[in-house]
Amino acid sequence: MTENTPQPEMAPHGNPQAPQLILQQIYLKDCSYEAPQGPRIPAADWSPKFALNLNTTSSEVAPELREVVLTVTVEAKVGEKVAYLVELKQAGLFVVRNCAPDELRKVIGSVCPSVLFPYARAACSELITQGGFPQFLLPPVNFEALYERSLAEATQPPVN
């Protein structure tokens, strides 16, 4: 007869001190859709200008458990009129273990948003389509490059 004793969770390659990132849950935390004119813009005039804004925040839920929230804002304007405005907060719970502070910032600033983005992209597209507008897919985003750029900007002296 074998004994069923719980084994400690091991990191890859059996090293319990190796950094770990474990996805626990992904969920839509908040969303907003506005179309002030509805889809009453004539098809011939449909050549919107898009504004895209991305932001990532994080909070500690419990030791080693982080909630990371990717906020996506998309605004489509035709001329001076707002066709639609979408804001959504795609969130995830991540277990993060054995990461130095610099590694943790990189995980939160690039790895976690990369995991959340496809879900935010699908939710955004669905809201826009359900609003009666042509399908819109967010372009791919390189969160690692954005993170590296934000680090570089943070170390630049202010320009007067």
Residue ranges covered by each domain of the chain: 20-151
Query: What's the mean pLDDT in 7-25?
Result: 73
Beta pairing, strands 81-97 & 65-78: antiparallel
The residue ranking higher by pLDDT, 123 or 41, is 123
Other beta carbons within 10 angstroms of residue 129's beta carbon come to: 12
- Residue ranges of alpha helices (H) inside the chain are 101-106, 112-130, 143-155
- Predicted confidence at residue 10, as pLDDT, reads 42
Question: Rounded mean pLDDT of the chain?
Answer: 89
pLDDT > 70: percent of the chain: 89
Q: Are 70 and 120 in contact (CB under 8 A)?
A: yes
- Torsion-angle region of 8 (φ positive above 0: left; ψ -120 to 50: alpha; else: beta): beta
- Predicted confidence at residue 12, as pLDDT, reads 55
- Predicted confidence at residue 1, as pLDDT, reads 47
Cα distance between residue 147 and residue 84, in whole Å: 28
The residue ranking higher by pLDDT, 35 or 153, is 35
- Predicted confidence at residue 6, as pLDDT, reads 42
Query: What's the mean pLDDT in 98-116?
Result: 94
Please check the confidence at residue 67 and state whether its pLDDT lies above 60: yes
- Grade residue 160 by pLDDT with cuts at 50, 70 and 90: low
Class level of CATH domain 20-151: alpha beta
Using one digit for the tens of pLDDT, what is the confidence trace for 45-66? 789 999 999 999 999 999 999 9
CA 137 to chain centroid, in Å, comes to 15
- Predicted confidence at residue 14, as pLDDT, reads 65
Other beta carbons within 10 angstroms of residue 147's beta carbon come to: 20
- Predicted confidence at residue 46, as pLDDT, reads 84
Among 37-46, 73-82, 137-146, the minimum mean pLDDT is found in 37-46
Among 34-43, 116-125, 150-159, the minimum mean pLDDT is found in 150-159
Contacts of residue 9, defined as CB under 8 A and 6 or more positions apart, other chains included, come to none
